[in-house]
Protein backbone atom coordinates (compact mmCIF):
# COMPACT_ATOMS: atom_id res chain seq x y z
CA UNK A 1 0.00 0.00 0.00
CA UNK A 2 1.35 3.37 -1.03
CA UNK A 3 1.84 6.20 1.41
CA UNK A 4 -1.18 8.45 1.96
CA UNK A 5 -0.32 12.12 1.51
CA UNK A 6 -3.82 13.52 1.94
CA UNK A 7 -6.34 12.03 4.30
CA UNK A 8 -9.79 13.54 4.51
CA UNK A 9 -12.45 12.31 6.93
CA UNK A 10 -15.96 13.78 7.04
CA UNK A 11 -14.50 17.17 6.20
CA UNK A 12 -17.18 19.87 6.41
CA UNK A 13 -17.19 23.60 5.87
CA UNK A 14 -20.24 25.59 6.73
CA UNK A 15 -20.86 29.27 6.09
CA UNK A 16 -23.90 30.13 8.18
CA UNK A 17 -26.70 27.87 6.90
CA UNK A 18 -24.86 27.07 3.74
CA UNK A 19 -22.87 23.84 3.76
CA UNK A 20 -20.20 24.39 1.14
CA UNK A 21 -18.42 21.11 1.80
CA UNK A 22 -20.51 18.30 3.25
CA UNK A 23 -18.67 15.46 4.99
CA UNK A 24 -16.25 14.56 2.28
CA UNK A 25 -13.80 11.71 2.81
CA UNK A 26 -11.02 10.54 0.55
CA UNK A 27 -7.35 9.61 0.51
CA UNK A 28 -4.73 10.63 -1.98
CA UNK A 29 -1.65 8.45 -2.46
CA UNK A 30 1.91 9.58 -2.98
CA UNK A 31 2.75 10.25 -6.62
CA UNK A 32 -0.88 10.05 -7.66
CA UNK A 33 -2.58 12.40 -10.09
CA UNK A 34 -5.83 13.10 -8.32
CA UNK A 35 -8.55 14.83 -10.31
CA UNK A 36 -11.10 16.93 -8.48
CA UNK A 37 -14.14 17.63 -10.63
CA UNK A 38 -17.36 19.44 -10.01
CA UNK A 39 -19.56 22.15 -11.42
CA UNK A 40 -18.99 25.73 -10.32
CA UNK A 41 -20.24 26.11 -6.78
CA UNK A 42 -19.93 22.42 -5.99
CA UNK A 43 -17.44 23.14 -3.22
CA UNK A 44 -14.18 22.26 -4.97
CA UNK A 45 -12.42 25.51 -4.23
CA UNK A 46 -13.55 25.57 -0.59
CA UNK A 47 -12.25 22.05 -0.07
CA UNK A 48 -9.02 22.92 -1.76
CA UNK A 49 -8.56 26.04 0.35
CA UNK A 50 -8.88 23.97 3.51
CA UNK A 51 -6.31 21.49 2.27
CA UNK A 52 -3.94 24.34 1.38
CA UNK A 53 -4.11 25.75 4.87
CA UNK A 54 -5.97 28.89 3.82
CA UNK A 55 -9.14 28.15 5.68
CA UNK A 56 -10.24 26.11 8.69
CA UNK A 57 -12.85 23.35 8.30
CA UNK A 58 -16.02 23.48 10.41
CA UNK A 59 -15.78 19.82 11.35
CA UNK A 60 -14.15 16.58 10.31
CA UNK A 61 -10.46 15.90 10.05
CA UNK A 62 -7.88 16.19 7.35
CA UNK A 63 -4.15 15.75 7.15
CA UNK A 64 -1.99 17.00 4.32
CA UNK A 65 1.55 15.63 4.01
CA UNK A 66 0.98 14.23 7.48
CA UNK A 67 0.12 17.61 9.01
CA UNK A 68 -3.17 18.49 10.62
CA UNK A 69 -5.22 21.19 8.85
CA UNK A 70 -6.31 22.67 12.17
CA UNK A 71 -3.00 22.95 13.95
CA UNK A 72 -0.21 22.68 11.45
CA UNK A 73 -1.11 25.04 8.64
CA UNK A 74 2.40 26.45 8.57
CA UNK A 75 3.95 23.02 8.07
CA UNK A 76 1.39 22.23 5.39
CA UNK A 77 2.28 25.41 3.53
CA UNK A 78 5.95 24.48 3.50
CA UNK A 79 5.17 21.13 1.92
CA UNK A 80 2.76 22.09 -0.82
CA UNK A 81 2.90 24.01 -4.05
CA UNK A 82 -0.01 25.87 -5.57
CA UNK A 83 -0.97 27.15 -8.95
CA UNK A 84 -4.22 29.00 -9.46
CA UNK A 85 -6.50 29.40 -12.42
CA UNK A 86 -5.38 32.98 -12.63
CA UNK A 87 -1.96 33.40 -14.10
CA UNK A 88 0.22 33.59 -11.06
CA UNK A 89 3.60 35.06 -11.92
CA UNK A 90 4.63 38.71 -11.91
CA UNK A 91 4.43 40.10 -15.42
CA UNK A 92 6.85 42.94 -14.83
CA UNK A 93 9.54 40.71 -13.40
CA UNK A 94 11.89 38.71 -15.59
CA UNK A 95 11.79 34.91 -15.76
CA UNK A 96 14.83 34.67 -13.47
CA UNK A 97 13.50 37.24 -11.02
CA UNK A 98 10.20 35.40 -10.73
CA UNK A 99 11.95 32.13 -10.01
CA UNK A 100 14.28 33.75 -7.51
CA UNK A 101 11.43 35.53 -5.79
CA UNK A 102 9.28 32.45 -5.29
CA UNK A 103 12.31 30.37 -4.33
CA UNK A 104 13.19 33.06 -1.81
CA UNK A 105 9.68 33.19 -0.38
CA UNK A 106 9.95 29.46 0.35
CA UNK A 107 13.21 30.15 2.14
CA UNK A 108 15.55 28.25 -0.18
CA UNK A 109 19.19 29.29 0.09
CA UNK A 110 20.35 31.60 -2.69
CA UNK A 111 22.99 29.25 -4.18
CA UNK A 112 20.40 26.49 -4.35
CA UNK A 113 17.94 28.84 -6.05
CA UNK A 114 20.56 29.86 -8.63
CA UNK A 115 21.49 26.26 -9.36
CA UNK A 116 17.92 25.02 -9.72
CA UNK A 117 16.93 28.14 -11.61
CA UNK A 118 19.64 27.57 -14.23
CA UNK A 119 18.60 23.93 -14.60
CA UNK A 120 14.95 24.90 -14.92
CA UNK A 121 15.54 27.59 -17.51
CA UNK A 122 17.57 25.12 -19.57
CA UNK A 123 14.94 22.38 -19.36
CA UNK A 124 12.18 24.75 -20.33
CA UNK A 125 14.28 26.04 -23.23
CA UNK A 126 13.95 29.60 -21.98
CA UNK A 127 17.68 30.45 -21.95
CA UNK A 128 17.21 33.26 -24.44
CA UNK A 129 14.23 34.63 -22.52
CA UNK A 130 15.64 34.40 -19.01
CA UNK A 131 16.22 38.14 -18.81
CA UNK A 132 12.93 39.04 -20.48
CA UNK A 133 9.88 40.20 -18.61
CA UNK A 134 7.39 37.40 -18.10
CA UNK A 135 4.66 39.60 -19.53
CA UNK A 136 6.32 39.33 -22.93
CA UNK A 137 6.12 35.51 -23.05
CA UNK A 138 3.34 33.63 -24.85
CA UNK A 139 0.60 32.34 -22.53
CA UNK A 140 1.58 28.70 -22.97
CA UNK A 141 5.11 29.36 -21.81
CA UNK A 142 3.92 31.43 -18.91
CA UNK A 143 1.69 28.57 -17.82
CA UNK A 144 4.52 26.06 -18.00
CA UNK A 145 6.76 28.43 -16.12
CA UNK A 146 4.08 28.96 -13.48
CA UNK A 147 3.83 25.21 -12.96
CA UNK A 148 7.61 24.89 -12.72
CA UNK A 149 7.68 27.68 -10.16
CA UNK A 150 4.90 25.98 -8.18
CA UNK A 151 7.05 22.84 -7.83
CA UNK A 152 10.36 24.72 -7.62
CA UNK A 153 10.73 24.19 -3.88
CA UNK A 154 10.10 20.44 -4.39
CA UNK A 155 6.81 20.22 -2.50
CA UNK A 156 5.30 16.85 -1.63
CA UNK A 157 1.95 17.84 -3.09
CA UNK A 158 1.05 20.41 -5.67
CA UNK A 159 -2.46 21.82 -5.92
CA UNK A 160 -3.49 22.95 -9.38
CA UNK A 161 -6.69 24.97 -9.58
CA UNK A 162 -7.90 24.78 -13.19
CA UNK A 163 -4.37 25.23 -14.43
CA UNK A 164 -5.04 25.01 -18.15
CA UNK A 165 -7.79 27.58 -18.58
CA UNK A 166 -7.43 29.49 -21.82
CA UNK A 167 -4.51 27.44 -23.10
CA UNK A 168 -4.46 25.88 -26.57
CA UNK A 169 -4.74 22.07 -26.90
CA UNK A 170 -1.11 21.55 -27.89
CA UNK A 171 0.16 23.46 -24.87
CA UNK A 172 -2.32 21.66 -22.66
CA UNK A 173 -0.88 18.40 -23.88
CA UNK A 174 2.66 19.59 -23.10
CA UNK A 175 1.46 20.84 -19.76
CA UNK A 176 0.13 17.42 -18.90
CA UNK A 177 3.47 15.90 -19.91
CA UNK A 178 5.03 18.12 -17.26
CA UNK A 179 2.45 16.98 -14.73
CA UNK A 180 3.25 13.33 -15.48
CA UNK A 181 6.93 14.03 -15.11
CA UNK A 182 6.37 15.72 -11.76
CA UNK A 183 4.19 12.82 -10.59
CA UNK A 184 6.87 10.35 -11.68
CA UNK A 185 9.37 12.22 -9.52
CA UNK A 186 7.15 11.54 -6.53
CA UNK A 187 5.15 14.77 -6.30
CA UNK A 188 1.48 14.17 -5.70
CA UNK A 189 -0.78 16.15 -8.03
CA UNK A 190 -4.15 17.42 -6.87
CA UNK A 191 -5.85 19.03 -9.83
CA UNK A 192 -9.24 20.60 -10.46
CA UNK A 193 -10.36 20.95 -14.04
CA UNK A 194 -13.30 21.68 -16.29
CA UNK A 195 -11.89 19.76 -19.20
CA UNK A 196 -13.18 16.22 -19.14
CA UNK A 197 -10.47 14.98 -21.49
CA UNK A 198 -8.02 16.07 -18.80
CA UNK A 199 -9.99 14.06 -16.27
CA UNK A 200 -9.06 11.02 -18.32
CA UNK A 201 -5.37 11.75 -17.71
CA UNK A 202 -5.85 11.46 -13.96
CA UNK A 203 -5.13 8.28 -12.02
CA UNK A 204 -8.26 8.74 -9.97
CA UNK A 205 -11.10 11.21 -10.11
CA UNK A 206 -13.62 12.53 -7.63
CA UNK A 207 -16.78 14.22 -8.73
CA UNK A 208 -18.27 16.68 -6.27
CA UNK A 209 -21.94 17.57 -6.44
CA UNK A 210 -23.54 20.00 -3.99
CA UNK A 211 -20.68 19.78 -1.53
CA UNK A 212 -20.58 15.99 -1.48
CA UNK A 213 -18.27 13.51 -3.14
CA UNK A 214 -20.62 11.64 -5.47
CA UNK A 215 -18.08 9.42 -7.15
CA UNK A 216 -14.46 8.48 -6.61
CA UNK A 217 -12.60 6.01 -8.77
CA UNK A 218 -10.35 5.59 -11.79
CA UNK A 219 -11.74 7.13 -14.96
CA UNK A 220 -12.03 3.68 -16.54
CA UNK A 221 -14.10 2.27 -13.72
CA UNK A 222 -16.30 5.35 -13.50
CA UNK A 223 -17.10 5.04 -17.19
CA UNK A 224 -17.94 1.40 -16.69
CA UNK A 225 -20.10 2.11 -13.65
CA UNK A 226 -22.10 4.81 -15.38
CA UNK A 227 -22.05 3.00 -18.72
CA UNK A 228 -20.58 6.00 -20.40
CA UNK A 229 -18.21 6.35 -23.34
CA UNK A 230 -16.24 9.19 -21.83
CA UNK A 231 -15.82 11.25 -18.66
CA UNK A 232 -17.94 13.99 -20.10
CA UNK A 233 -20.97 11.73 -19.93
CA UNK A 234 -20.11 10.51 -16.46
CA UNK A 235 -19.81 14.05 -15.23
CA UNK A 236 -23.03 15.08 -16.87
CA UNK A 237 -24.97 12.22 -15.27
CA UNK A 238 -23.66 13.09 -11.83
CA UNK A 239 -23.91 16.83 -12.08
CA UNK A 240 -27.42 16.72 -13.52
CA UNK A 241 -28.75 16.00 -10.05
CA UNK A 242 -27.23 19.16 -8.62
CA UNK A 243 -29.62 21.44 -6.83
CA UNK A 244 -27.24 24.32 -6.31
CA UNK A 245 -26.93 26.72 -9.12
CA UNK A 246 -23.52 27.74 -10.30
CA UNK A 247 -22.18 30.89 -8.74
Partner 1 sequence: MKQLLVFIRKEFYHVFRDRRTLLIMFGLPVAQIVLFGFALTSEVKNISLIIIDQARDVNSQELTGKIKSSAYFITDESVTDYNDIEKAFKQGTARCALIIPAGFGNDLLHGGSAPVQILTDGSDPNTAKTVVNYLTSIMTGYQQELSKTPPLRYLIQPELRMLYNEEGNGSLNFIPGVMALVLMIVCTALTSVSVVREKELGTMEILLVSPFRPLLVLVAKAIPYLVLSLANFLLILFLSVFVLDVTVKGSILLLVAESMLFITTCLSFGLMISNTTNSQQTALLLSMMGMMLPTMIFTGFMFPLENMPVPFQVISNIVPARWYFLIIKAVMLKGLGFGYVWKETLVLTGMMLATLGIALKNFKTRLS
Give the nearer residue to partner 1 in terms of CB position, either 51 or 120. 51
Give the nearer residue to partner 1 in terms of CB position, either 117 or 204. 117
Closest approach, Cβ 243 to partner 1, in A, equals 27
Task: State the binding string over 172-211 for partner 1 (x if CB under 8 A, else -).
Answer: ----------------------------------------
80 touching partner 1, by CB under 8 A? yes
Q: In this structure, are residues 120 and 171 in contact, taking their beta carbons and an 8 Å threshold?
A: no
Rounded to whole angstroms, the Cα distance separating 96 from 132 reads 8
Which of residues 26, 87, 195, 226 is near partner 1 by CB under 8 A? 87
Rounded to whole angstroms, the Cα distance separating 85 from 35 reads 15
85 touching partner 1, by CB under 8 A? yes
Task: State the binding string over 101-120 for partner 1 (x if CB under 8 A, else -).
Answer: xx-xxxx-------------
Task: State the binding string over 147-166 for partner 1 (x if CB under 8 A, else -).
Answer: ---x--------x-------
90 touching partner 1, by CB under 8 A? yes
Phi (first) and psi of residue 8, to 5 degrees = -120, 125
Closest approach, Cβ 86 to partner 1, in A, equals 3
Stretch that binds partner 1, among 50-58, 60-68, 124-132, 203-211 (CB under 8 A): 50-58
Phi (first) and psi of residue 158, to 5 degrees = -120, 130
Closest approach, Cβ 149 to partner 1, in A, equals 9
Q: In this structure, are residues 99 and 120 in contact, taking their beta carbons and an 8 Å threshold?
A: yes
71 touching partner 1, by CB under 8 A? no
Which of residues 54, 124, 130, 228 is near partner 1 by CB under 8 A? 54
86 touching partner 1, by CB under 8 A? yes
Rounded to whole angstroms, the Cα distance separating 48 from 157 reads 12
74 touching partner 1, by CB under 8 A? yes
By CB under 8 A, name the binding residues for partner 1. 52-56, 74, 77-78, 80, 82-93, 97, 100-102, 104-107, 133, 150, 159
Amino acid sequence: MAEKVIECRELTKQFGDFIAVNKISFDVMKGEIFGFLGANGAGKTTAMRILCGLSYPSSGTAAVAGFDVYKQQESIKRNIGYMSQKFSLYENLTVTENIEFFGGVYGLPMQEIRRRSNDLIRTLGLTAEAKKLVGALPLGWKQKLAFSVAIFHRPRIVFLDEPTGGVDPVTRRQFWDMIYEAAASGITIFVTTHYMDEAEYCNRVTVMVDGKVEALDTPARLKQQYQADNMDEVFYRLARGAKRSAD
